[in-house]
Every structure is written in structure tokens, then in C-alpha cells.
């Protein structure tokens, strides 16, 4: 597939930069977790970068994002500062959630990034509320709600789609189907596993499936959904088929996955696929792409330094911002 002419070289290189930056961030998170600088649960986004970057490249400042606990990639693609993100994982006061949220609860109101959520499916009704607010305020904004295939069995999923359809809300339900909910294959836990994108049909919500490893497929499909939703036609459901390269969390060795399956998906690495296409189409040179990788590595080194040198929250912070005024 030829690169789309509407996407400038600058845009393409920026999307490549973001994807590389996400991968570098996640690799460093793993190292810092092993050194016990990152505590608690840690779920990395490696392998799924094309989805976050492709989607975020099409959003406007007035649009809301809510996501699951594998939220680092979405946050970086939305433009949250990597220093503040790393500091949050370190539990430092300079973090995006002031050290109180950690890996699963990244938040930036100014960018309308309304958090990752640790409860499976818990973000779905929140997305409906945000979409309702956008519609009532006449903001011409939409809400993107990311969730994994493991959320398909939750009651919130069906309740949220039902209300969004009845009220014709501007929300895109975006299922990142990486084939596993924790250690269980989606084929063993969800009866409609081969037709996730059709799960909205009982609620009169159109759905579509997309190759989540292909940046351009993600962009094209998402652009059509954005046009539909922003045009007042109501919600949509997108199923992006993807694969996480590490276990459910860092502590999961993922021994339940067949070796040939892992090897197949590794050949579909979204960063490598994009790199090959940029080079084959003559959009970028090896030197340009190498400089992007080097800059990403340097940015992550700076993020770790910032997080390391930042202070922990004072004890008094425990009682601050518990309730909103």
C-alpha cells in the first residue's frame, strides 16, 4: 500500500517518533521495575503502538480520551510529558498525578486525557458521561474509549453501548484486541470472540475491524469513525487486532502463549513495518530514522534522571485533593 499523499513527511516522521518513543519508554519502565524504582503493577504497551499513535493523530484539543491500565502509550501519543509520566511511575510529586496514581492512573486535564482505569471496563461509563457533556455543551468534541478484549464480558460494556446509542452520543468505543485477557485466550472467555466488532449491533451501533499493527489502516478506519461520530451520527465500535509483546503485566512470563504465535506477531512489529515502508517509499533515509531513535533514547534517559531527582509527595499530600471543590 502506498503512503497516503495527504500525510506530509513531517507528520509521518512525527508518528514514527512517537511510536519509537513509546517503545523506548516501555523498555525503560521494565528496567526500572526490575531495579524496584517502579512499584505496584506495570502493564506495558509494546507491540500496540500503531493504535495509540494512529488514533491520537486524528483527534482535536476538545476531544476526550479514557483508557485502561495499559495506558502509557496513549498518554505519550496524546502529548503528555515523558518526564512527568516517568515521575508518576516512580511515585514522585512531579508526576502527572502527583505521584498518587502510578502506572495505571495517568491523567492530564489540560489535554483532556482523563485517565487510565484499573477496574476492567470501569472507563466505559465514564466515557459515556464525557461524551454526554461534550454534546450538551455543543463543543463538537468526541470521546475515545480504549478497552481490551477482556472488558467485553463486563456489564459496563453493554450498559454503556446501550446508553450511548439511545442518546446518540459522540463516542468511539475502541477495543484493542490483543487476544488475551490476563492469561486467558479471548476465544476461551468470550463467545463472540471472532466478531467483537459486531458486538454493538444489538444496540444499533455500527462496527468495523482493523489491523492494529498497521498505522495507515488504523488512521483510515479511525478517520471514517471520527467523521461519523463528529457528524452527529452517534457512536461507533472499532476492533483493532493487535498483540502485546510482553505478558499481561511485567511479572507475567506469558508461558501460556504458543511459541509460533509469538513469532508470527513479532514479524508484524508496527514500528518495523512503518520503518520499512518509509524507506521503501523514499519518505525517509536510514540516517533520519536513526537520529529519531537516538533522540528518543536521550529523551527517556532525561525522563529517568528527572524522576530519580524528583521528591516524593509530602505526608500532608495524602489529605489533599481528596474531594473536588
- In this predicted structure, what is the pLDDT of residue 73? 98
- In this predicted structure, what is the pLDDT of residue 325? 65
* CB contact at 8 A, 284 and 15: no
Q: Is the dihedral of CA 9, 290, 22, 147 positive or negative?
A: positive
Task: Name the DSSP class of 314.
Answer: P
CA angle centred on 19, ends 15 and 22, rounded to 5°: 135
Helices (H), the chain: 9-34, 49-56, 72-77, 82-89, 123-137, 155-166, 186-189, 215-230, 259-266, 270-280, 286-309
CATH of domain 9-308: 3.40.50.970
Give me the tens of pLDDT residue by residue for the chain, a chain 325 residues long: 344 448 999 999 999 999 999 999 999 999 999 999 998 899 999 999 999 999 999 999 999 999 999 999 999 999 999 999 999 999 999 999 999 999 999 999 999 999 999 999 999 999 999 999 999 999 999 999 999 999 999 999 999 999 999 999 999 999 999 999 998 999 999 999 999 999 999 999 999 999 999 999 999 999 999 999 999 999 999 999 999 999 999 988 999 999 999 999 999 999 999 999 999 999 999 999 999 999 999 999 999 999 999 999 999 998 888 887 6
* CB contact at 8 A, 82 and 303: yes
- Dihedral-angle region of residue 109 (phi above 0 means left; psi in -120 to 50 means alpha; beta otherwise): alpha
Rounded to 10 deg, the angle between the 9-34 and 82-89 helix axes is: 20
Distance CA 128, CA 170 (A): 9
- For the chain, the first-to-last Cα distance in angstroms comes to 52
Would you tell me how many other CB atoms lie within 10 Å of the CB of residue 95?
A: 25
Distance CA 79, CA 308 (A): 21
Amino acid at each position: 500500500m502506498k503512503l497516503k499523499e495527504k500525510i506530509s513527511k513531517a507528520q509521518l516522521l512525527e508518528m514514527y517518533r512517537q511510536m519509537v518513543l513509546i517503545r523506548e519508554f516501555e523498555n525503560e519502565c521494565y528496567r526500572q521495575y526490575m531495579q524496584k524504582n517502579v512499584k505496584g503493577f506495570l502493564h506495558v504497551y509494546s507491540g500496540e503502538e500503531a493504535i495509540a499513535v494512529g488514533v491520537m493523530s486524528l483527534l482535536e484539543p476538545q476531544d476526550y480520551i479514557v483508557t485502561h491500565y495499559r495506558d502509557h502509550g496513549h498518554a505519550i501519543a496524546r502529548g503528555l510529558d515523558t518526564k512527568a509520566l516517568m515521575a508518576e511511575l516512580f511515585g514522585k510529586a512531579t508526576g502527572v498525578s502527583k505521584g498518587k496514581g502510578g502506572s495505571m492512573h495517568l491523567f492530564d486535564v489540560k489535554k483532556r486525557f482523563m485517565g487510565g482505569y484499573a477496574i476492567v471496563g470501569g472507563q466505559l461509563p465514564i466515557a459515556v458521561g464525557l461524551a454526554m457533556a461534550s454534546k450538551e455543551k455543543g463543543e463538537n468534541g468526541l470521546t475515545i474509549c480504549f478497552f481490551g478484549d477482556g472488558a467485553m464480558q463486563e456489564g459496563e460494556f453493554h450498559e454503556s453501548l446501550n446508553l450511548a446509542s439511545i442518546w446518540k452520543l459522540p463516542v468511539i468505543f475502541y477495543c484493542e484486541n490483543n487476544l488475551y485477557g490476563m492469561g486467558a485466550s479471548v476465544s476461551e472467555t468470550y463467545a463472540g470472540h471472532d466478531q467483537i466488532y459486531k458486538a454493538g449491533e444489538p444496540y444499533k451501533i455500527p462496527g468495523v475491524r482493523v489491523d492494529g499493527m498497521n498505522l495507515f489502516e488504523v488512521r483510515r478506519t479511525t478517520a471514517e469513525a471520527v467523521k461519523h461520530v463528529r457528524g452527529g451520527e452517534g457512536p461507533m465500535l472499532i476492533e483493532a487486532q493487535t498483540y502485546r509483546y510482553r505478558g499481561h503485566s511485567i511479572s507475567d512470563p506469558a508461558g501460556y502463549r504458543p511459541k509460533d504465535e509469538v513469532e508470527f506477531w513479532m514479524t508484524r512489529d508496527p514500528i518495523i513495518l512503518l520503518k520499512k515502508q518509509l524507506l521503501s517509499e523514499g519518505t525517509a533515509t536510514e540516517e533520519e530514522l536513526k537520529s529519531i531513535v537516538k533522540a528518543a533514547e536521550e529523551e527517556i534517559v532525561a525522563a529517568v534522571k528527572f524522576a530519580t531527582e524528583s521528591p516524593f509527595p509530602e505526608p500532608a499530600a495524602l489529605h489533599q485533593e481528596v474531594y473536588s471543590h
